Chain A
Amino acid sequence: MINLGLIDVVLLAFLVAITWAIIQLRDLFAAVMLTGIFSLISACLFMVMDAVDVAFTEAAVGAGISTVLMLRTLALTSGRSNPRFNRLELAPLLVVIAIGAALVYGTFDMPRYGDPQAPIHTYMAPRFIEQSGDEVGIPNIVTSVLGSYRSYDTFGETTVVFTAVIGVFLLLSDPRRGRRAGDALRDDIILRIGTKALVPFIMVFALYVQFHGDYGPGGGFQAGVIFAAAIVLYTLVFGLARAEKIFRRRRLELLVAGGVLLYGTVGVVSMALGGNFLDYSVLAHDPVHGQHLGILLIELGVGITVAAVMVSLFFLFVRRRQV
């Protein structure tokens, strides 16, 4: 695959160029824009490496939500980086070079990319590839691994998201916040009608991603982010005041917790039915159906939590008073 090799090189060269530009630019807004491009290119790289699920996540989070949050942060600070940090400092440079050299040295020990003899390909992967079809019965092995074999990990990750957002709630929920109603971009008829037309389709697409994780790339996490993106678009165009009337804070908080709770409940129920924690095989009469049901439910939990977290975060950032 000479073509794909070429693409790798070109995309990596782009990444280097962008990084260099980001370092050089003093204009932080321009830097944020370039970060957006950076994430677009990284996702292309993931694609080339056939890691579609990862690329999906990068697309949803890196290109969309994180740009929005960074811009919002920028609104709270000044738009230019401090020239004081422009000088060349010797000590940090040395530290960075040393660590970089160590990391590069470390890669010498790693197996070549795509080497079939690499430990990661001989340890668990063959078992997943050969048996997940019988044991879990889902075409997308990534979903089998994340949702079933490693559902402990995924549960942990969901809990991390949950905990993180609680931290943000505590930090950013300022009860003395000044509420200013903004009519936003609604006065723009073109944008308004475009948004009206797009939002329902984006939401249905998110749910498609949610329920088709068994067959193709996708699943709860990506679906949650896409669903949240639809609400973000609505908020941007129709204003925060109107959006908050529909997506009330209290309900969002309940959903944030509810998703994790759903995930945990599936685990507890499978214990109650005589299996191990999160062992879905006991959920139905035959193990494969049980696995299906279990993965469906936990993905739903992940989706609910992620969507609610993203929307809450966005609202919190937007509501934040300008300092």
Chain B
Amino acid sequence: MEDLKREGHDFASSDAGDMAGDAMMGNVRPALNLLVVLFGMWLLWSGHYTTQLIGFGLVSCLGVVLLCWRMGIVDREALPLDLTWRTLRYIPWLTLEVVKSNIDLAKRVLSPRLPISPQLVELQATQKTDLGRITFANSITLTPSTVTIEARRDGRFVVHALAHEIAQDLRNGEMDRRVSRLEKVEKPESAS
């Protein structure tokens, strides 16, 4: 809740981002996670299992993790592994929403009358972390007929919706609640 009190201006928040950039140094766990995932990807993608190539893969992944560490982009945000299990329950729901929305949009586009009425919707998202807000924002964008235009750190969203009732659905906030539930168990980390 304290999070929401902060004045949210997106542009001014770059300082906070900078601090996050320095604070993430010394965070070993995400680096190990990244290494494991990258190496797993290498094995899946490669398909050639000679000692030489696996060796190259290991060296490559290690090198990339070190470089990314130096670049300051290795942190929990980038690879939210611990969210995965709860996310797995969210993905089917989202997929269904996306499919429904696709069919609805296709009907609108194919109808000769073109029954649309674009709206701008302002929302107050209830997620407490950057990652949660991003999940929400991307879920909105992934669903055709809604696009996130602004996603501010204080949770104020501006969304473009293609029709009145789609905007109404969004205001009802089911997606918001579901995404918020994803981060429920976490300790509410203040955004870095």
Contact = CB atoms under 8 A, between A and B. Distances in A.
Interface of A: 183, 186-190, 192-193, 195-197, 199-201, 203-205, 207-208, 211-212, 215, 234, 238, 242-243, 246
B38 A201 contact: yes
Given A186-B17, A187-B17, A190-B134, A204 B41 contact: yes
Nearest to B53: A211
Contact of A189 (B38, B53, B153): B153
19 contacts: A183-B14, A186-B14, A186-B17, A190-B138, A190-B148, A193-B134, A196-B78, A200-B38, A200-B73, A203-B64, A204-B38, A204-B42, A204-B60, A208-B46, A208-B60, A211-B53, A234-B71, A234-B73, A246-B70
B78 A193 contact: yes
A193 B131 contact: yes
Interface of B: 10-11, 13-14, 17, 21, 34, 38, 41-42, 45-46, 48, 53, 56-57, 60-61, 63-65, 67-68, 70-75, 77-79, 130-131, 133-134, 137-138, 148, 151, 153
Contacts of B130: 189, 193
3 cross-chain pairs, A with B, having the tightest CB-CB distances, nearest first: A196-B78, A207-B60, A196-B73
B14 A187 contact: yes
Contact of B46 (A190, A212, A238, A242): A212
A238 B78 CA distance: 14
Given A187-B10, A208-B60, A200 B17 contact: no
A201 B42 CA distance: 9
Nearest to A195: B73
A190 B65 contact: no
A282 B72 CA distance: 44
Contacts of A201: 38, 41
Contacts of A205: 45
A315 B46 CA distance: 32
A262 to B, nearest CB: 16
A208 B77 CA distance: 25
Given A204-B41, A212-B48, 5 more contacts: A186-B17, A189-B153, A196-B75, A199-B73, A207-B64
Contacts of A243: 71
A199 B68 contact: yes
Contacts of A212: 46, 48, 53
Contact residues of B: prevailing secondary structure: helix
A201 to B, nearest CB: 7
B41 A187 contact: no
A203 B68 contact: yes
A234 B21 CA distance: 13
A123 to B, nearest CB: 32
B79 A197 contact: yes
B77 to A, nearest CB: 5
Contact of B133 (A189, A200, A207): A189
Contact of B61 (A192, A195, A204): A204
Contacts of A204: 38, 41-42, 60-61, 64
A200 B69 CA distance: 10
Nearest to B20: A192
A190 to B, nearest CB: 6
Nearest to A205: B45
A208 B61 CA distance: 10
A57 B151 CA distance: 37
Nearest to A239: B14
A250 to B, nearest CB: 16
B14 A208 contact: no
Given A189-B133, A204-B38, A204-B60, A197 B14 contact: no
B65 A200 contact: yes
A197 B138 CA distance: 14
Contact of A190 (B17, B53, B74, B151): B151
B89 to A, nearest CB: 21
Contacts of B79: 197
Contact of A197 (B70, B78, B148): B78
A238 B20 CA distance: 13
Contacts of B65: 200
B56 A211 contact: yes
A322 B159 CA distance: 35
Contacts of B137: 190
B94 to A, nearest CB: 16
Contacts of B133: 189
B44 to A, nearest CB: 11
Contacts of B48: 212, 215
Given A204-B60, A211-B56, A212-B53, A246 B71 contact: yes
Nearest to A243: B71
Nearest to B48: A215
